[in-house]
Amino acid sequence: MNKITGLIAATFAAYHEDGAVNLEIIPAIVEKMIADGLSGVFICGTNGEGPNLTIEERMAIAEAYVKAAGKRILVLVHVGHSSIAECRKLAAHAEKIGADAISSVAAFYFKPGSVSNLVKSMAQIASAAPNTPFYYYNIPALTGVAMDMIEFLRQAEKQIPTLAGIKYTAATLHEYHACVNYKNGKFDILFGYDEMLLPALAVGAKGAIGSTYTFAAPLYLKVMKLYEEGMSEEAAATQLHAVNMVRCLVKYPPIPAQRAIMKMEGFELGTCRLPLEPLNEKETADFKASLEEIDFFNVVKESRQLID
């Protein structure tokens, strides 16, 4: 697989009223992602509540996305789990159904204690899907595993034949910069902090994966377009709209708040699973008012017109 350019949306899990996974809504989500100009979807990750789902549910979701995408956009399947044996089942399944890539976080209960241990773990997972590109999902804020990613690349390139790169969800831009330039850009280092997309572009990012791309992709695609055209001030002004939105968002639990935005945009995803809890009515109303105060929905709509 060639390096990924553009934006990959980290999509959200959807549930019926009885708590069962809603697979029926997935084609509509995929069509929205395509219409919004995204390059692909990243499924069953943090925002997709992968750790909250059974592996049978994760497999069913992966199948639904691969079928709905029909190779029109990329489908990256997160296969991370606290059990490497379960990771391997998910990885093998993703390859069997034709996913474009797989990705895994580090084990988050019994954590790897060194880079070599992390690489050994990821190699075991990746080997279950020997023909599918593998991305290590670096998200130390959630896993508690913060390793030297250059050292990871050094060791992993020798042990993981399918290593495509890293999903880099950390604010350490200097290390991200180093990873992008490792061996003249050998690996695909996809940036994962949406509110820092512009600074990441400045140090060489070409592709990014993020949750807010699910509902605000046109805004970020406009940032990328302006940056590519050398209009740095305009790009910064546009990125600020995303920053202001995230500042509203982080006053609430981030996944439930983003699910609330999806509902505002007409996508009823149901109630997230415990320990996550949805925003209550007052929180939703206050949150919506704060987004309207910064004219967020109109900014996204206007950005879409520019991209179209």
The catalytic residue positions are 137, 167
Token digits for 164?
């495509």
Residue 273 DSSP symbol: P
- Picking from 235, 185, 233, 226, the residue whose alpha carbon sits closest to that of residue 205 is 185
Residue 11 DSSP symbol: P
- Picking from 142, 143, 124, 147, the residue whose alpha carbon sits closest to that of residue 134 is 124
d(CA 211, CA 167): 13
Residue ranges of the annotated binding site for pyruvate are 209
Residue ranges of the annotated binding site are 209
d(CA 253, CA 135): 27
Bridge partners for 102 per DSSP: 77, 134
d(CA 208, CA 217): 11
